[in-house]
C-alpha cells in the first residue's frame, strides 16, 4: 500500500520523524517536516550503501523482493498522488510507493542536500529550477498539471468574505503561505495584482498548514489552492477573478541520483497518462 514517509519516520534513520502538526482532518495524511542536516547526511550515506527499501531495480526478478519508489511531492498533490500510488502498486507487483509530502521549497532543499529520492513533483517551475540548476534532475522536467488559488473559509462563511478586498479588513483573520513556498508566491502575486494589502495572522510552511488553520476555526480565511478547498473538511471556496494571473504549473522530474531510475520513469509516465490526468481533473487541477 502506498504510504507517506511522514507517518512512519525515515527508514533507516533513527530519530528522523515527521512533522507534529495536527492532521488536516478525516484521517488524511500529513505533510512531512524538513529533515535535520544530520538525518540528511545519514540518508545519503545509506543510499550509497544499499537501495532504499531493499531489493533491486529489477525487483520482480529478485525472487519477488520488495522494492520502494520514493516520491517527493508538493503537499497540494497529496490526495491525487495517494490514489495514483495505490493504482501504480497494483500494476507493479512487489512495489511500494513511499511519499514525502511537504512544501516544494522544503523538499527541493532536502534533495539538494542529498536526501535520496527517485522523483520530485513541485508546485511551481521556479522551485523545480533550483533542483535542475543544481544538477539533481535527470533530463528536462515536464509540466503535468496546473492549479489556481481560492479563498478558503469555514462552512457558512461566518466572516462574510466575498473577495480578495475583504481580506484587507482588519476584522478578518487571514492565514497565508510563506512567500518562500509556491502557494505563498502565488498569493503575493494575486494580492499585488488586485492592489490589496493583507496583514496575515500567520504564515504557514505549506498549503495544507494554511488550510488547517481554517478547518480548525483559527482564522476566518486562507489563500490556498482550489484543489485543497475541494479536498478540505468543513470549508468552502470563494473564487476571485485575479486567480488566473498567478496559476501555478506543476513540473515533475526523475532525479539524477534516483535509486530506482527505471521505476521512476514508469511513475512519471503514469502521472502523465490519460487515466491519471482524469484523477487530477476530478481533484480540481487543470490538465494539459
At 180-212, the pLDDT tens digits run: 999 999 999 999 999 999 999 999 998 999 999
Other Cβ atoms closer than 10 A to 176: 25
Please, which pLDDT band fits residue 233 given cuts at 50, 70 and 90?
confident
Question: Using CA atoms, how far apart are residues 6 and 70, in angstroms rounded to an integer?
Answer: 12
254 annotated ligand-binding residue: no
202 annotated ligand-binding residue: no
Domain coverage including residue 135: 67-146+249-287
- Do 142 and 257 fall within a single domain? yes
- Do 270 and 233 fall within a single domain? no
- Do 160 and 219 fall within a single domain? yes
- Do 134 and 174 fall within a single domain? no
Spatial neighbors of 69 by CB under 8 A, at least 6 apart, are 88, 95, 96, 97, 98, 118, 119, 260, 263, 264, 267
- Do 142 and 193 fall within a single domain? no
Question: Using CA atoms, how far apart are residues 112 and 190, in angstroms rounded to an integer?
Answer: 29
Please, which pLDDT band fits residue 66 given cuts at 50, 70 and 90?
confident
- pLDDT on residue 22: 30
In this predicted structure, the answer to whether residue 50 has a pLDDT above a threshold of 90 is: no
More confident residue, 59 or 249: 249
| Overall number of domains in the chain | 2
Please, which pLDDT band fits residue 139 given cuts at 50, 70 and 90?
confident
173 annotated ligand-binding residue: no
Whether 47 maps to a domain, the answer reads: no
153 annotated ligand-binding residue: no
Whether 17 maps to a domain, the answer reads: no
Strands in 202-204's sheet, in edge-to-edge order, are 202-204, 174-177, 221-225, 149-154, 235-238
User: pTM here?
Assistant: 0.77
- Do 224 and 168 fall within a single domain? yes
- pLDDT on residue 51: 35
In this predicted structure, the answer to whether residue 19 has a pLDDT above a threshold of 50 is: no
- Do 260 and 119 fall within a single domain? yes
The average confidence (pLDDT) of the chain is: 82
- Do 141 and 160 fall within a single domain? no
C-alpha distances (whole Å) from 171 to each of 71, 102, 151, 161, 166 are: 41, 30, 16, 11, 9
- Do 81 and 206 fall within a single domain? no
- pLDDT on residue 207: 92
CATH number, position 192: 3.40.190.10
Whether 205 maps to a domain, the answer reads: yes
- Do 87 and 109 fall within a single domain? yes
- Do 106 and 175 fall within a single domain? no
Whether 191 maps to a domain, the answer reads: yes
Amino acid at each position: 500500500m502506498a504510504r507517506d514517509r511522514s507517518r512512519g519516520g525515515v527508514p533507516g534513520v533513527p530519530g528522523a520523524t515527521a512533522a507534529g502538526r495536527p492532521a488536516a482532518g478525516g484521517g488524511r495524511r500529513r505533510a512531512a517536516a524538513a529533515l535535520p542536516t544530520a538525518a540528511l547526511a545519514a540518508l545519503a550515506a545509506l543510499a550509497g550503501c544499499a537501495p532504499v527499501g531493499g531489493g533491486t531495480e529489477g525487483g520482480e526478478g529478485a525472487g519477488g523482493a520488495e522494492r520502494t519508489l520514493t516520491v517527493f511531492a508538493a503537499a497540494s498533490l497529496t490526495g491525487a498522488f495517494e490514489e495514483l500510488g495505490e493504482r501504480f502498486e497494483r500494476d507493479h507487483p512487489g512495489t511500494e510507493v513511499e511519499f514525502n509530502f511537504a512544501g516544494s521549497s522544503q523538499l527541493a532543499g532536502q534533495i539538494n542536500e542529498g536526501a535520496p529520492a527517485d522523483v520530485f513533483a513541485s508546485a511551481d517551475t521556479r522551485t523545480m529550477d533550483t533542483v535542475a540548476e543544481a544538477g539533481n534532475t535527470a533530463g528536462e522536467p515536464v509540466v503535468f498539471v496546473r492549479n489556481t488559488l481560492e479563498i478558503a473559509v469555514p462552512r457558512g462563511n461566518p466572516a462574510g468574505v466575498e473577495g480578495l478586498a475583504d481580506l484587507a479588513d482588519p476584522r478578518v483573520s487571514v492565514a497565508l503561505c510563506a512567500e518562500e513556498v509556491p502557494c505563498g508566491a502565488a498569493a503575493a502575486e494575486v494580492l499585488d495584482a488586485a492592489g490589496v494589502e493583507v496583514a496575515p495572522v500567520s504564515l504557514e510552511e505549506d498549503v495544507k498548514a494554511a488550510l488547517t488553520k481554517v478547518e480548525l476555526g483559527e482564522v476566518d480565511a486562507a489563500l490556498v489552492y482550489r484543489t485543497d478547498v475541494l479536498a478540505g473538511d468543513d470549508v468552502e471556496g470563494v473564487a476571485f477573478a485575479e486567480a488566473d494571473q498567478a496559476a501555478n504549473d506543476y513540473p515533475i522530474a526523475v532525479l539524477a541520483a534516483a535509486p530506482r531510475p527505471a521505476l521512476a520513469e514508469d511513475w512519471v509516465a503514469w502521472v502523465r497518462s490519460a487515466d491519471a490526468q482524469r484523477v487530477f481533473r476530478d481533484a480540481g487541477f487543470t490538465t494539459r
